[in-house]
Amino acid sequence: MSKSVAKKIQAIRGMNDLLPSDSPRWQFFEEKVRQLMQRYGFAEIRMPIVEQTALFARSIGEVTDIVEKEMYTFEDRNGDSLTLRPEGTASCVRAAMEHGLLYNQTQRLWYQGPMFRHERPQKGRYRQFHQVGVEAYGFEGPDIDAEVILLSARLWQELGLMEHVTLELNSLGSSEARAAYRDKLVAYFEQHREMLDEDSQRRLTSNPLRILDSKNPAMAEMLDNAPRLMDNLDEPSQAHFEQLKTMLDAAGIAYVINPRLVRGLDYYSRTVFEWTTTALGSQGTVCAGGRYDGLVEQLGGKPTPGVGFAMGIERLILLLETLDLVPDEALGGCDVYLLPMDDTATIAAMTLAEQLRSELPWLRMQLHCGGGSFKSRMKKADKSGAPFALLLGEDEIAEQAITLKALRDDQAQQRIPQSALAHTLSEQLTHSQ
């Protein structure tokens, strides 16, 4: 029989494993988010990862990058066209409509989870990535726009990121105003056709507003002189935007108006914003959102205003890491390593461990498992990173005592009665409680 070496199967390009050394950072971030949402009165919603393809085609827009070339779309066994969600807003609207959450009521919702886009993987850009999203339904005025921006700002403040991010703001006006503006813009671009790059030529007929988004330096001056959406807003959108700015000013939130901020998805109207950073190279947008008053109706519901944002968790974690902003305590670890000195002490050690876990719910303790020589047990204790080892052998068991050994400094080891152990650990490990 020939023995062939099986080829190892690897993860799909652009889809990452989250390793144990990284997960404390994610948990730190996720915990902050969860608390923040509660504090602002947003309730969590969880949607499926797969939806009918039509949901995204109809909401995001047929001629956007996402729908044109980034979606993971496949036929399931029934022949239905399904898509791994590239973003959360469409699913959230679908779910809210389907369960009557938009009927005569307002909603403040949030979610988090993986999104899928077939992009070119690079730092800060992956094919499976994760977002935290916030969506509010049924609020027409700019107060909720300000509220979701304030929520995001508080997160930056609490993470120590505020001085590293900038809020960029624009208004896209009503869809009517935008249609009129679009004509003006196309006329302008036609006058400067020779300056448009290939991408922009293509967008001229399909999605001319997106040309404003271009980062091509050769087009920068021409784009700067293009007619501005801001100067072509309808009166109610103008008023909405002015009020929003007044609210942000009152809250002390700094922003810059970016008249070229148009966002890549079709469903936005009025307010759009992005939080950007210069610390991550070209993948600098960490949070993006805006108002989408037409979307619910577009998906077959009663007209319902909506506003929301999505933040990219990978980029934020990268930023926290780059700036070294995750506190050491949050990086997890182990307080004590409890080891039976040989196999005869296994059950006594296990019993003691369980008793300690009942008494000290905050204690992070690893019980030695897997046998081995005393020397190899001590090696594992050291590797656990714990500041203390608890040693249990024949003598300790006979005396109902335990040996407490400091692993990171040369404090003398001490034998203490098991009845005093919880108290001693509480004193020695004040930081963990």
**Least distance in angstroms from the C-beta of 86 to ligand ATP:** 8
**Least distance in angstroms from the C-beta of 125 to ligand ATP:** 4
Rounded CA separation 348/397 (Å): 8
**Least distance in angstroms from the C-beta of 123 to ligand ATP:** 10
End-to-end CA distance of the chain: 60
**Least distance in angstroms from the C-beta of 72 to ligand ATP:** 12
Long-range contacts (CB closer than 8 Å, 24 or more residues apart) made by 203-211: 206/63, 207/61, 207/63, 207/64, 207/266, 208/182, 209/178, 209/182, 209/185, 209/262, 210/64, 210/262, 210/264, 211/185
| CB nearer to ligand ATP: pick between 83 and 131 | 131
| CB nearer to ligand ATP: pick between 51 and 87 | 87
DSSP 84-138: E-S-SHHHHHHHHHHTTTTTTS-EEEEEEEEEE-----BTTB-SEEEEEEEEEES
CA distances to 40, 201, 211 from 192, rounded to whole Å, are: 47, 11, 12
Residue nearest ligand ATP, CB atom distance: 312
267 is in an annotated binding site: yes
CA distances to 37, 234, 335 from 269, rounded to whole Å, are: 24, 12, 52
Take residue 212 and report the two structure tokens written for it. Answer: 């404003």
Dihedral through CA 62, CA 66, CA 72, CA 77, nearest 10? -20
Rounded CA separation 129/126 (Å): 6
117 is in an annotated binding site: yes
| CB nearer to ligand ATP: pick between 293 and 314 | 314
| CB nearer to ligand ATP: pick between 287 and 349 | 287
| C-beta separation of 140 from 131 below 8 A | no
| CB nearer to ligand ATP: pick between 229 and 286 | 286
94 is in an annotated binding site: no
- According to DSSP, residue 208 is labeled G
| C-beta separation of 112 from 47 below 8 A | no
87 is in an annotated binding site: yes
140 is in an annotated binding site: no
Contacts with ligand ATP by CB under 6 A lie at: 87, 117, 119, 124-126, 129, 131, 264, 283, 285-288, 310, 312, 314-315
| CB nearer to ligand ATP: pick between 26 and 188 | 26
Q: Give the distance, in angstroms, between the CA of residue 353 and the centroid of all CA atoms in the same chain.
A: 36
Take residue 319 and report the two structure tokens written for it. Answer: 């930023």
Please count the other Cβ atoms lying within 10 Å of the Cβ belonging to residue 151: 21
| CB nearer to ligand ATP: pick between 310 and 345 | 310
135 is in an annotated binding site: yes
The residues pairing with 402 across neighbouring beta strands, listed in sequence order, are 416
**Least distance in angstroms from the C-beta of 311 to ligand ATP:** 6
**Least distance in angstroms from the C-beta of 411 to ligand ATP:** 46
**Least distance in angstroms from the C-beta of 214 to ligand ATP:** 12
Total H helices, total E strands in the chain: 15, 16
| CB nearer to ligand ATP: pick between 119 and 342 | 119
Take residue 400 and report the two structure tokens written for it. Answer: 């109902």
268 is in an annotated binding site: yes
| CB nearer to ligand ATP: pick between 259 and 284 | 284
Rounded CA separation 286/144 (Å): 20
Binding-site residue positions for L-histidine: 87-89, 117, 131, 135, 263, 267-268
Binding-site residue positions: 87-89, 117, 131, 135, 263, 267-268
